[in-house]
Amino acid sequence: MPSKLYVGNLAYSVSNDDLRDLFSQAGEVQSATVITDKFSGQSKGFGFVEMSSSDEASKAISQFNETELKGRNIKVSEAKPRESGFGGGGGNRDRRGGGGGGGRGRDRW
């Protein structure tokens, strides 16, 4: 059964291939994806690697957690399932007004 890993604290220069190459040292990599901003394409500094078995995933965690990749100590752990919904947010939904904004264009007609 494949096992998905979270990989955090990635340097912005790390690519999908870099993740695949590194994690293949621990076993068969099903997929390796660096998460990027959908508008700019810039890395968000984390990604996911799916190993072909839970044993290989455990090996990858112990082998690569807190090791250096492109100048950063990466964090490797079991990926947690994404929570459903759109997040908590909390309060202030009906708050109106707010602070000015420096007056830019306020008096222009």
45-87 pLDDT tens trace: 999 999 999 999 999 999 999 999 999 999 999 999 887 666 5
Burial class (CB in 10 A: 0-12, 13-18, 19+), 6: middle
User: Mind listing the domains of the chain with CATH numbers?
Assistant: 3-72 (3.30.70.330)
pLDDT of residue 12: 97
The strand pair at 72-73 and 68-69 is best described as antiparallel
pLDDT of residue 108: 47
Comparison of pLDDT for 74 and 104, the residue scoring more? 74
Nearest by Cα to 78 from 1, 13, 11, 12 = 1
pLDDT of residue 67: 97
97 band by pLDDT with thresholds 50, 70 and 90: low
pLDDT of residue 81: 85
